[in-house]
A and B are shown apart, each in its own frame.
Chain A
Amino acid sequence: QSVLTQPPSVSGAPGQRVTISCTGSSSNIGAGYDVHWYRQLPGTAPKLLIYGNTNRPSGVPDRFSGSKSGTSASLAITGLQAEDEADYHCQSYDSSLSGYVFGTGTKVTVL
């Protein structure tokens, strides 16, 4: 069981904005550790989408943005496109577990 909780699914129509939450605790996100986000298409490896809470790697469109506050973080996708249908995972570090932790994962569906 993961220490970072995400909603199992979110959905939206093309062009809409969706957000995915990642809720942690005082031993991970709340302790100030960075949150990173990954997108995983079916049958492929996860791909880094956001690092260091708010930063986008080269090549990731600015439709994707990250934020962090307190013990939670969020990923926002604006201008939703069919290609955004995928699983999204947050990741941070947990001091109680002394290791990196991933979220429970969220499936994004484009209606």
Chain B
Amino acid sequence: EVQLLDSGGGFVQPGGSLRLSCAASGFPFNNNAMSWVRQAPGKGPEWVSTIGGSGSSVFYADSVKGRFTISRDNSKNTVYLQMNSLRAEDTALYYCARNRGSGSYYNYCFDTWGQGTLATVST
């Protein structure tokens, strides 16, 4: 069974940092791009970042570029999201998601999601 287990969320003050982790199982991890998608309370999902299967290609939403870093350890089947300089507007449930698609990454969807981990940025 394909599973994604998100962790690492918590409460942090503005300007602080958090590191999210996503442990994957049930599929050949290094064959898939992986993403982080967040959802603020009462809002729709918002794509945050994507990393290719080998880790050499990374993409970020403008809202987090320069502050967040996505990485992966294929030996541990784990993807990470380092979040620095956090702002109140970063408060959200963060989901790890597996990308699915053939050909161009433009057409990827998110076919499996973790349960989410909550990051709260507040004084």
Considering residues A36, A100, A103, which has the most beta carbons from chain B within 10 angstroms of its beta carbon? A100
Complex formed: what's the CA distance from A38 to B45 in Å? 10
Q: Is the CB of A93 within 8 A of B45?
A: no
Q: Is the CB of A45 within 8 A of B107?
A: no
Residues on A with C-beta less than 8 A from B50 are: 100
Interface code A17-61, partner B: CB below 8 Å = 1, 0 otherwise?
000000000000000011010100000011110011000010000
**Smallest Cβ-Cβ distance to A44: which chain B residue:** B115
Q: Is the CB of A51 within 8 A of B44?
A: no
**Smallest Cβ-Cβ distance to A28: which chain B residue:** B106
* Chain B interface size, under 10 / 10 to 19 / 20 to 34 / 35 or more: 20 to 34
Q: Is the CB of A101 within 8 A of B44?
A: no
**Chain A contact residue count (CB 8 A cutoff):** 26
Considering residues B35, B59, B106, B114, which has the most beta carbons from chain A within 10 angstroms of its beta carbon? B106
Q: Is the CB of A33 within 8 A of B113?
A: no
Interface code B49-89, partner A: CB below 8 Å = 1, 0 otherwise?
01000000001111000000000000000000000000000
B residues 88-123 touching A (CB-CB < 8 Å): 95, 100-101, 106-116
Cβ distance B27 to chain A, nearest Cβ, rounded Å: 14
Residues on A with C-beta less than 8 A from B111 are: 48, 51, 57
B11 at the interface (CB under 8 A from A): no
Q: Is the CB of B113 within 8 A of A47?
A: yes
Residues on A with C-beta less than 8 A from B45 are: 38, 46, 89, 91, 102
Interface code A63-107, partner B: CB below 8 Å = 1, 0 otherwise?
000000000000000000000000101010101011111111100
Cβ distance A26 to chain B, nearest Cβ, rounded Å: 15
Using A45-B95, A45-B114 as known contacts, say yes or no to A99 and B61 having CB atoms under 8 A apart: yes
18 A-B contacts, Cβ less than 8 Å apart? A33-B107, A34-B101, A34-B107, A36-B110, A38-B110, A45-B95, A45-B114, A46-B110, A48-B100, A48-B111, A52-B101, A98-B62, A99-B47, A100-B35, A100-B50, A100-B108, A101-B47, A102-B47
Binding site for A on B (CB under 8 A): 35, 44-47, 50, 59-62, 95, 100-101, 106-116
